[in-house]
């Protein structure tokens, strides 16, 4: 869950705080922000769920250790490229450890073009931003909002507007109005979260 009051913490600020080993809250937030993204990338390139989770955990722990040891230089490359590079190696390691698979599979992932890995990272990041924005919106919507349910049914689950209106006790016009209102709020939350995530990334 991302706190938007007043604004989410930027990645740049998190990085500056990670240099202080006593600031555990910075690590918790950094890990929560990017572990899900790395997990999605690992799954995208063929790891089983448990292996993908392990690869994501090892990636984040190595990133934390290396950052505190001064091994990341922002003047030499983007944080996202650095994280992906670490994840790439961890995914290869998991492939090699995977029993019953040919060693060639590990080589296959090494030959994946860098732009494909970055595209997977970008898509996973976009999904993470949307999930956090939606979670924030649900958390901060007062009481029982039939409009939220109508939006979820129509925009996220693909339920026809007329059917959603019936389920929510609303008219079709009311569903459209609710969708417009919630879309605007969701877009605003997503933009603020996205800016914070990408600041320093």
CA triple 46-83-31, angle to 5 deg? 90
| pLDDT (mean) for 42-60 | 92
Burial 165-180 (b: 16+ CB within 10 A, else e): beebebeeeebeebbe
- The CA distance from 195 to 199, in Å, is 6
d(CA 172, CA 165): 6
The stretch 51-57 carries a mean pLDDT of 94
Q: Is pLDDT of 40 > 70?
A: yes
| pLDDT number for residue 178 | 93
Model pLDDT for residues 152-183, shown as the tens digit of each residue: 999 999 999 999 999 999 999 999 999 999 99
Q: Which tokens belong to 167?
A: 């389920």
pLDDT tens sequence across 182-200: 999 999 999 999 999 999 9
Contacts of residue 71, Cβ cutoff 8 Å, sequence gap at least 6: none
Q: What is the mean pLDDT of the chain?
A: 86
Q: Is residue 172 within 8 Å of 162, Cβ to Cβ?
A: yes
pLDDT at 36: 95
d(CA 95, CA 111): 14
pLDDT of residue 110: 57
CB 10 within 8 A of CB 196: yes
Q: How confident is the model at residue 18 (pLDDT cuts 50, 70, 90)?
A: confident
Q: Is the pLDDT of residue 1 over 50?
A: no
Q: What is the pLDDT of residue 140?
A: 84
pLDDT digits (tens, 9 = 90+) for 106-162: 455 556 677 788 899 999 999 999 999 999 998 887 656 889 999 999 999 999 999
13 prior amide bond cis, ω within 30: no
């Amino acid at each position: 869950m991302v706190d938007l009051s007043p604004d989410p913490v930027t990645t740049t600020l998190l990085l500056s705080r990670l240099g202080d080993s006593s600031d555990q809250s910075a690590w918790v937030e950094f890990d929560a922000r990017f572990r899900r993204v790395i997990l999605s990338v690992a799954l995208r390139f063929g790891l089983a769920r448990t292996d993908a989770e392990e690869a994501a955990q090892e990636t984040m722990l190595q990133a934390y250790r290396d950052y505190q040891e001064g091994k990341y230089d922002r003047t030499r490359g983007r944080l996202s490229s650095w994280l992906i590079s670490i994840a790439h190696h961890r995914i290869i390691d998991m492939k090699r450890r995977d029993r019953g698979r040919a060693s060639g599979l590990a080589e296959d992932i090494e030959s994946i073009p860098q732009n494909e890995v970055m595209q997977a990272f970008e898509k996973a990041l976009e999904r993470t931003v949307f999930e956090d924005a939606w979670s924030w919106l649900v958390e901060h919507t007062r009481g029982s909002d039939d409009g939220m349910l109508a939006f979820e049914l129509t925009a996220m689950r693909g339920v026809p507007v007329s059917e959603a209106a019936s389920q929510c006790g609303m008219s079709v016009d009311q569903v459209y109005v609710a969708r417009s209102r919630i879309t605007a709020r969701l877009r605003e939350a997503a933009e603020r979260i996205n800016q914070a995530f990408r600041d320093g990334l």
